[in-house]
Structure 1
Amino acid sequence: MSTVKPSKINKLLKLQPPGVVLISSWLVGQGYSPELLRKYRNSNWLTSIGTGAMIREKDQVNYLGAIFGLQRQLGLSIHPGAKTALSLHGKAHFLDFDQQQVYLFGHSKENLPLWFQKYDWKVDINYYTTSFLPADEGMTSIRIDNFELSISSPARGLMECLFLAPQSQDLMECLQIMQGLNNLHPKQVQPLLEQCTSVKVKRLFLYLAESCSHTWFKHLNLKQIDLGKGNRSLSKKGVYIPKYKITVPQEMQKDESPEL
C-alpha cells in the first residue's frame, strides 16, 4: 500500500472544515497532484463521491457541504434559495414545507457539476439558473455546523419564490411567507427591488407587502422601482389589482389572517 506523509495530509485536512466536499480541481490548484490524491484515496484518507469530488473518510456530508465546496472552492454563486433559504432562516416553520424538496439558485451560466447531480443527497434537488437578481444582492451568511454558507436573505428568498410562482410555487403560500416578514429593513429591500429585472416579481412583492400592512413598506421609494408596462395575469379567474396591474387568485384578496 502506498504511504503518505502525515504532514501533507494533515495540512490538506485543515484547509477546509469537516462536513464539506473537497473538489479535485481546487485541490490540484492547492498543490495536491492527481497522483497524490489517488494515494490518499488508496490509503483511506479520502473517499470519492464521483469524478472530481471527494470527502474525508467516514465524514458525513450533505448537500449543504457540497454547496460550500461550490461556493468557496469554485467561486460559484449557487446557493439555497426560495423556501429552502427561508427554512434555514427559520421563516418557513408555519408552512407545509417538504424538507425533501431543496431549491437551489445559480447564475444563468452556472451548471451543477456532474458529481453533484449524480450523488444521492437523500433530497430532491430543484436547481434554477436565473439572472433576475444580481448574484451578490440580498445574500447573507449563516453557520451550518462547521462552516459558513451563503444563502438568500428572507427578502430575496421570497422574491425567488415569486419568480417560481404560480407554476412551481403556490401564491397563497407566498402570502403566508410575506405575513411573517414584518421585520425587514427598507434599506435592504429597496436595492433588491430596484435591481430586480422581473416585473412580475416586483409587482407581486409590493402587492403582498402592502396587503400585509408592513411598516417597512411605507418607507420604500416606489418611484425608484421600475414596474414596467401592461398587465400581468397570474390567475385565469382572479381579481385584478389596478395599482399593480396584476390579476391574482381570488383567495388572496379574501385572506384576512393575522400576521405571523
Structure 2
Amino acid sequence: MIRTGDHVDISGALYSLQTQLGLSTHFGGKTALAMQGKAHYLELSSQKVYLFGTKGENIPTWFRKYDWESQVKYFSTEFLDSKHGLIEFQVKEFTIKVSSPARAILECLYLSPEKQDLVECYQLMESLNNLRPKQVQQLLESCSSVKVKRLFLYLAEKSGHSWFNHLQLDKIDLGKGKRSLVRHGVYVPKYQITVPQALENEGSI
C-alpha cells in the first residue's frame, strides 16, 4: 500500500517483492555492477534497469504497469538458481538482494550478444579484479548455460585476473562442440567459441 503523495522508487518496490511476496526478483547484470561501483559510467538512474527473476514467478501487475523513472528490463531465467551469488545491499534504510559482481557479469553474458554487447562485457570484466575464486567456482559449476560459462572463462583469462588461476576448470562442464556466437567472427580454439573480431582485438597491443 502507498500513502497518497508518497513517492515509490524501484528499489523500495523491489524490497516489497522480495520481503512480502518472497520473489527472487533482483537487480542484476549491469545495474547490479553499477550499484557496487563496478561500472563507473553506469548509473541506477540510467535509461534502463535490469531485473532478473526465476522462471515461472509472477510479477504483480502493479509493478509491471507502474511508470518507473527508468525503463525496466525484466528477464525470467533458470540458467542460475536463486541460491547462489546474491548478496544483501543497503539502500536507504533497508536492504535488498542484488547480484554479486560475479553473478552480475554472468547475467550480462546470458544476454549477449543479442541484448548485451560483448565488447562492453569485456570492459566490465576488466574491473572485476577482486572476485573470490570459491564463489566464482560455485557459480560456474551450478550454471546451466554452456555459452555463458565459455564466454566467462574466455573474458576472465583475457583480462588477466589472478583469481582465474585458482579456478578448477576440470570441474566445470563446458559441454561439447563449437558455439558460434556471431557470424564472420574469430574462432577461439581453447573455448570453442566464435566471437566478434572487435572483442578479440580488445586488449591487444
Determine if the TM-score, normalized by the shorter chain, exceeds 0.5.
yes
User: What's the counterpart of residue 103 of structure 1?
Assistant: 50
- The answer to whether the Cα contact below 8 Å between 1:84 and 1:102 also exists between their aligned partners in 2 is yes
Larger radius of gyration: 1
User: What's the counterpart of residue 73 of structure 1?
Assistant: 20
Structure 1 residue ranges, 4+ long, deviating more than 4 angstroms after superposition: 95-98
Whole-angstrom CA distance in 1 between matches of 2:81 and 2:31: 19
Deviations 1:162-206 (A, max 9, x none): 000000000000000000001111011000000000000000000
Secondary structure in 2 aligned to 1:55? coil
Among 157, 166, 174, which residue is 2:121 paired with?
174
Whole-angstrom CA distance in 2 between matches of 1:191 and 1:59: 41
Whole-angstrom CA distance in 2 between matches of 1:136 and 1:62: 26
- The answer to whether the Cα contact below 8 Å between 2:23 and 2:57 also exists between their aligned partners in 1 is yes
User: What's the counterpart of residue 111 of structure 2?
Assistant: 164
* Residue 200, structure 1, aligned to residue 137, structure 2: no
**CA separation of 1:96/1:117 partners in 2, compared to 1, >3 Å: closer, same or farther?**
closer
Residue 227 of structure 1 aligns to which amino acid in structure 2? L
Among 59, 65, 71, which residue is 1:124 paired with?
71
* Residue 113, structure 1, aligned to residue 65, structure 2: no
Residue 225 of structure 1 aligns to which amino acid in structure 2? I
The CA deviation at 1:256 is: 1.6
Whole-angstrom CA distance in 1 between matches of 2:26 and 2:87: 10
- The answer to whether the Cα contact below 8 Å between 1:132 and 1:198 also exists between their aligned partners in 2 is yes
User: What's the counterpart of residue 86 of structure 1?
Assistant: 33
* Residue 215, structure 1, aligned to residue 162, structure 2: yes
Among 190, 200, 204, which residue is 1:253 paired with?
200
Q: TM-score, normalised by structure 1?
A: 0.76
- The answer to whether the Cα contact below 8 Å between 2:126 and 2:159 also exists between their aligned partners in 1 is yes
The CA deviation at 1:255 is: 1.2
Structure 1 gap ranges (5+): 1-53
The CA deviation at 1:216 is: 0.1
- The answer to whether the Cα contact below 8 Å between 2:181 and 2:195 also exists between their aligned partners in 1 is yes
Residue 183 of structure 1 aligns to which amino acid in structure 2? N
Structure 2 gap ranges (5+): none
- The answer to whether the Cα contact below 8 Å between 1:95 and 1:173 also exists between their aligned partners in 2 is no
Deviations 1:32-85 (A, max 9, x none): xxxxxxxxxxxxxxxxxxxxxx22343321111111000001111000110111
Whole-angstrom CA distance in 1 between matches of 2:204 and 2:185: 19
**CA separation of 1:98/1:232 partners in 2, compared to 1, >3 Å: closer, same or farther?**
farther
**CA separation of 1:96/1:230 partners in 2, compared to 1, >3 Å: closer, same or farther?**
farther
Whole-angstrom CA distance in 2 between matches of 1:131 and 1:145: 30
Aligned residue pairs total 205
User: What's the counterpart of residue 155 of structure 1?
Assistant: 102
Residue 139 of structure 1 aligns to which amino acid in structure 2? L
